[in-house]
Chain A
Amino acid sequence: MTEIHIDTWLYGNLAVYGGDPNEHNFANANVPLPEGSVLQDLLNSLGMKTEERGITFINGDLSAMPGMQPDLDHALKDGDRVAFFHLRSMWPFQYRHGVAMIDEMQSAIDNSEDMGLRHAYKLPDDD
């Protein structure tokens, strides 16, 4: 089976999933996955539960926010850059209004009751 490689960026306390248990700032890992893998497979490969991540990007497109993760089945391809942020990270609405999103995220926002005008989609219990 052909392998693909994912350029994976892990920020804050998620950096430990990059291989160094003492790293809490950021890590950049090149993660090999079988062709046809989806985002959930990348999480499995890293050993990271999906609840541990907040804001997520795939090639600079917003793919998840805390409490809104429509990207688990998103197909990955070779060379994709995926970035995972810790739950204490933030991105206020006015500073992300009109940014690029993956189709699944755009659809989730469009179908949400408040059309996405939130800073957080739930208040994560991150203590």
Chain B
Amino acid sequence: MFFVRVNMTDRTYSVTDVPEKYKHLAGRGLTSNVIADEVPALCHALGPNNKLVFSPGYTTGTSAPTSSRVSVGGKSPLTGGIKEANAGTSWAADLGVLNIKALIVEGFPEEKGKFWGIAVTWDGKPKVEFFEATQYAGKPLAEVHPAMYEKFGEKISVCSIGMAAEHGYSNSGVAFNDQYKRPTRYAGRGGLGAVMATKGLKFIVLNRAGAPGVEIVDKALFEEGRKKMIDALRTHAITKPKGGLNSYGTAILVNILNEAGGLPTRNFSSGRFEGAPKISGETIFEKNKERKGKEVYNHNCSPGCIIQCSNTVYDEKGEEITSCLEYESAWALGADCGIDNLEDVAKMNALCNDYGLDTIETGVAIAVAMEGGLIPFGDSKAAIELVHEMGKGTPKGRILGAGAATTGRAFGVRRVPVVKGQAMPAYEPRAVKGIGITYATTTMGADHTAGYTIAPEILGVMGKQDPLSPEGKAGLSRAFQATTAFIDSSGHCLFIAFAILDIATGYQGMIDEVNGVTGNKWSADDILKLGGDILKVERKFNEAAGIGKEADRMPEFMMKEPLPPHNVTFDISDETLDSVFGEL
């Protein structure tokens, strides 16, 4: 495997062996360690000293199921802390097949307003060529992605940034192609798109032709693990074919959270939205059936995924509006803005993909602006116009593009649902207190993917602790975050966690796969430790950046304002929050 460094100051590159220190790392573990080692914590995220690191997981590029994830790391312009965002895409698999353990983008072009692309091919080792891409700037991504396929052939994969990144927004993601060449798979959160834009880098095109593929040290063990993982995913009700995710996508959670009183509505002023059923996974499924004349099951976002949870929303004529509309996007652009028009929510989702915006940050920022009186709650047409303004870079659009926290300041809004500057996702922490602890304490800013569950008997950390006691909740959050940091390094999609919590052999399957690829003999305990080590590195970086444990807090309004319908506040004590990582 290789380290490929691309220097955008003078458009040169180097290919070296993987330094000894990083050999046991991959994915999030690798991106976070490189950032912590090479990026000054106090640098400006959009300045010359920040870097952007891409790394495939241990199993990415192999035949392990649901393993085509790539981690993108850097210092976040949104939170000011360390950031890892990841995406499922064939680009991830290609990076692994090209034997690139880390692609590090550094330097800073002197000439402003110009953009470049790089094309990576295999020539005995990874080879990088630069091409001018300024002509593709200022246009929606769906318009410019096809040009890459015309230029470099059909068998490529494409990473890109949109207009939001070109404008320098803290809300701007890094886009990757899906299985249908659409630029719709995002490492969306934390503004890493803008970091890539400051480097003058618009595209990273990968062509795997002739590349050797990922070396697997112990093939028998890998195959054993792979089989266990496939069995678990194909058996579990949530992940199996025509199961929950394959039928309804993640938007299956809309009605559930709504009934639980945990669906943040109209800028987190209520936990229940009367229009929720209209933007739910069940409604998408039924409308698609009517509009396409048959049941439409979901598709895979990346090669080798057997869960296949990506939905498509069709209009009345049966034409595609967007793919995919995730739960968090349907919620942010729907319930949080008081909007129940599915087609308009889907349209906004498509615009976010086109402009390179994170859907969660976009929806929450618009909802905050609605509370500030910019447009009324529920006005979907006006909300669509605001997303256009973000794309165009008008002054109003720029305020929203800076994220929910900045939008709150611009409009004098007190109810601003962010942690460490990042907008809170679709699970109301006053109603779902467990996730609130993770929102508050993760290194990433409010993040719903930071604490996925693993089988408690494997975690071993719980003992007979009551998971509902403050100590139990803190212990669980710590263990969840550590194991999640490892899954984010494994190359697997987090959704494998649904199956491996209930089917213990699936968890062993993941470990076997990773050990098979790397030749390590890691145990379940080792994995918890490896995940914990990643969190330590990330927390150390954040502390050096001025984001210490004092920032592990929820916004004040959540402690004061009771949330209907349960009329509850967030009542987890500061001591409990501090204890999550006090014992790491």
Contacts and interface: CB of A to CB of B under 8 A. Distances in A.
A93 B244 contact: no
Contacts of B261: 60, 100
B282 A120 contact: no
B283 A120 contact: no
Contacts of A26: 255, 277, 280, 282-283
Interface string B551-572: 0000000000000011010000
A88 B237 contact: yes
Q: DSSP majority for the A interface?
A: loop
A123 B237 contact: yes
Interface in A45-100: 55, 57, 59-60, 62, 66, 83, 85, 87-100
Report which residue of B252, B433, B466 has the largest number of chain A beta carbons within 10 angstroms of its beta carbon: B252
A114 interface: yes
B257 interface: yes
Interface stretch (B310-318, B451-459, B510-518, B541-549): B451-459
Given A88-B248, A115-B466, A95 B259 contact: no
A100 B566 contact: yes
Q: What class of interface size applies to chain B in its complex with A?
A: 35 or more
A68 to B, nearest CB: 13
B256 A85 contact: yes
Interface string B122-152: 0000000000000000000000000000000
Interface residues of A, number: 40
B233 to A, nearest CB: 12
Contact of B434 (A85, A97, A115, A118): A97
B452 A88 contact: no
Contacts of B434: 94, 96-98
A99 B262 contact: yes
Nearest to A115: B467
Contacts of A99: 260, 262, 431-433
A117 B282 contact: no
A25 interface: yes
A71 B434 CA distance: 23
Given A60-B565, A119-B501, A88 B457 contact: no
B286 A25 contact: yes
A5 interface: no
B85 interface: no
Interface in A1-52: 9, 11-12, 24-26
Report which residue of B236, B242, B247, B262 has the largest number of chain A beta carbons within 10 angstroms of its beta carbon: B262
Contacts of B568: 100
Contacts, number: 140
A17 to B, nearest CB: 15
B480 interface: yes
Contacts of A90: 237-238, 244-245, 252-253, 256, 498
B502 interface: yes
Given A11-B282, A89-B244, A123-B502, A95 B456 contact: no
Interface string B260-271: 111000000001
Contact of B260 (A24, A96, A115): A96
B432 A11 contact: no
A119 B277 CA distance: 23
A95 B434 CA distance: 8
Contact of B457 (A83, A114, A116): A114
A97 B476 contact: yes
Contacts of B462: 115, 117
B453 A92 contact: yes
Contacts of A92: 238, 452-453, 497-498
B394 interface: no
Contacts of B243: 88
Contacts of A93: 453, 501
A25 B277 CA distance: 8
Given A90-B498, A92-B453, A9 B480 contact: no
A120 B427 contact: no
Given A60-B272, A87-B237, A95 B286 contact: no
A97 B479 CA distance: 14
Contacts of B528: none
Contact of A98 (B235, B238, B452, B468): B468
A118 B236 CA distance: 12
Contact of A60 (B259, B277, B283, B457): B259
A100 B257 CA distance: 12
Interface of A: 9, 11-12, 24-26, 55, 57, 59-60, 62, 66, 83, 85, 87-100, 110, 114-120, 123-124, 126-127
Given A55-B256, A57-B259, A95-B257, 14 more contacts: A25-B285, A60-B566, A62-B260, A90-B244, A94-B480, A95-B435, A97-B434, A98-B433, A98-B436, A99-B262, A114-B457, A115-B462, A119-B453, A119-B502
29 contacts: A26-B280, A55-B256, A57-B259, A60-B565, A62-B260, A83-B255, A83-B259, A85-B259, A88-B247, A88-B248, A90-B252, A92-B453, A92-B498, A94-B451, A95-B432, A97-B432, A97-B433, A97-B476, A98-B436, A99-B432, A100-B431, A116-B467, A117-B467, A118-B501, A119-B498, A123-B236, A123-B502, A126-B237, A127-B242
Interface of B: 235-238, 242-245, 247-248, 252-253, 255-257, 259-262, 271-272, 277, 280, 282-283, 285-286, 427, 431-436, 438, 448, 451-453, 455-457, 462, 466-468, 473, 476, 480, 497-498, 501-502, 565-566, 568
